């Protein structure tokens, strides 16, 4: 593990660096607090730090306070100092240091405290992974990996208000896979799942980097197209339609065709609301279904 040390005394710094190297650490040594702060807050900065309290300009406690006030990943900080009064220890902890070690340090004690710091960092890393997994589970459709219904509708509200504020046109597309029930009935739900996953991948591949897509219902997808006029929205919808039907999907030896009907709605004056915009796209979708499927209809709102 990488560790940063900061001490303005070159002799103390070399002694500490030598001890840490013998313990197997990769050491970054700094002669002052300002340099230490810069390296710790770098994107790939060390996550363990031993800071001398008394340094010119920016001392060890100042470095600790600035780290805690930043949005950097958690850094485990040990304050190393000749001070050993009770009030000094309390001052270090008030600055949100994690541990306190007095000079001259004992090598065994130093190793024990560093191992404690490593355990804290490892635990935090596991907690962050769990948090990210829970966030993903709460916001993503587990089958397709797209935004789930709640999140795509939340995003629609955000984009709607942004478009209203900036005076941009907002378009939405509702895509519904054609004859999906027949696929489930004839080939089973596993085949239906494979079709949904393939459809999600194909739709995602033709969108712009700032468009949004989510699974809106069983075989329905909602696509949000920010800053998109009617003509461009139709062009993107056509790319999506073609991508879906470009090639059959092979599932368990069977070739399954994928087509979709798409309804597009655009709003330019925003004298409406997100629900009305989606409703308009739904109405266009119904016309596409009634018109023979594998086609696009558009409804432009006033």
Q: pLDDT band at residue 132, thresholds of 50, 70 and 90? A: confident
Q: The pTM is what? A: 0.68
Predicted pLDDT at 300: 76
Residue 82 has pLDDT above 90, yes or no: no
CATH 3.30.70.270 in the chain, residue ranges: 149-300
pLDDT in tens, 215-255: 999 999 999 999 999 999 999 999 999 999 999 999 888 89
Rounded CA-CA distance 72/45 in Å is 9
Of the listed 35, 159, 219, 297, which one is catalytic?
A: 219
Which residues touch 178 (CB under 8 Å, ≥6 apart)?
259, 260, 261, 289, 293, 294
Residue 141 has pLDDT above 70, yes or no: yes
Averaged pLDDT for residues 170-183 = 96
pLDDT in tens, 178-205: 999 999 999 999 999 999 999 999 999 9
Mean pLDDT of the chain: 92
pLDDT in tens, 93-126: 899 999 988 888 888 898 999 999 999 999 989 9
Rounded CA-CA distance 202/217 in Å is 17
Predicted pLDDT at 271: 67
Q: Which fold has domain 149-300?
A: Alpha-Beta Plaits (3.30.70)
- To the nearest whole percent, how much of the chain has pLDDT over 70? 99
Predicted pLDDT at 302: 59
CATH 3.40.50.2300 in the chain, residue ranges: 2-138
Predicted pLDDT at 1: 85
Predicted pLDDT at 246: 92
What phi-psi label fits residue 266: left (phi over 0), alpha (psi between -120 and 50 degrees) or beta?
A: beta
For the beta carbon of residue 273, count every other beta carbon within 10 angstroms: 13
Residue 269 has pLDDT above 70, yes or no: no
3-state secondary structure the chain: CEEEEECCCHHHHHHHHHHHHHCCCEEEEECCHHHHHHHHCCCCCCCEEEEECCCCCCCHHHHHHHHHHCCCCCCEEEEEECCCCHHHHHHHHHCCCCEEEECCCCHHHHHHHHHHHHHHHHHHHHHHHHHHHHHHHHHECCCCCCECHHHHHHHHHHHHHHHHHHCCCEEEEEEEECCHHHHHHHHCHHHHHHHHHHHHHHHHHCCCCCCEEEECCCCEEEEEECCCCHHHHHHHHHHHHHHHHCCCEEECCEEECCCEEEEEEEECCCCCCHHHHHHHHHHHHHHHHHCCCCCEEEEECC
Of 72-76, 85-89, 110-114, 188-192, the least confident: 85-89
Predicted pLDDT at 182: 93
pLDDT in tens, 21-41: 999 999 999 999 999 999 999
Q: pLDDT band at residue 158, thresholds of 50, 70 and 90? A: very high
Residue among 119, 127, 123 nearest 99 (CA): 119
219 as an active site residue: the answer is: yes
Rounded CA-CA distance 78/57 in Å is 19
Q: Which CATH number fits domain 2-138: 3.40.50.2300, 3.40.50.150, 3.90.1560.10, 3.90.550.10?
A: 3.40.50.2300
């Amino acid at each position: 593990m990488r560790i940063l040390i900061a001490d303005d005394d070159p002799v103390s710094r070399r002694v500490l660096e030598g001890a840490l190297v013998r313990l197997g650490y990769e050491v970054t040594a700094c002669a002052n607090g300002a340099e230490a702060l810069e390296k710790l807050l770098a994107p790939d900065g060390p996550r363990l730090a031993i800071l001398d309290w008394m340094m010119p300009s920016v001392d060890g406690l100042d470095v600790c306070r600035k780290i805690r006030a930043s949005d950097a990943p958690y850094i485990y900080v040990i304050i190393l100092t000749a001070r050993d009064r009770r009030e000094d220890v309390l001052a270090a902890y008030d600055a949100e240091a994690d541990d306190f070690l007095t000079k001259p340090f004992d090598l065994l004690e130093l190793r024990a405290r560093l191992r404690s710091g490593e355990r804290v960092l490892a635990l935090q890393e596991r907690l962050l992974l769990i948090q990210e997994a829970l966030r993903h589970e709460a916001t993503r459709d587990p089958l397709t990996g797209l935004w789930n219904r709640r999140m795509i509708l939340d995003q629609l509200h955000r984009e709607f208000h942004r478009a209203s504020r900036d005076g941009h046109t907002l378009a939405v597309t509702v895509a519904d896979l054609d004859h999906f029930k027949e696929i489930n009935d004839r080939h089973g739900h596993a085949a239906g799942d494979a079709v949904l996953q393939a459809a999600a991948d194909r739709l995602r591949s033709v969108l712009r980097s700032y468009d949004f897509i989510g699974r809106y219902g069983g075989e329905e997808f909602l696509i949000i197209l920010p800053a998109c006029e009617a003509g461009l929205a139709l062009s993107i919808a056509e790319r999506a339609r073609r991508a879906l039907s470009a090639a059959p999907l092979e599932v368990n030896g069977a070739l399954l065709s994928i087509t979709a009907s798409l309804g597009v709605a655009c709003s330019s004056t925003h004298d409406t609301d997100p629900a009305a915009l989606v409703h308009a796209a739904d109405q266009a979708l119904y016309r596409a279904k009634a018109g023979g499927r594998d086609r696009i209809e558009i409804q432009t709102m006033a």
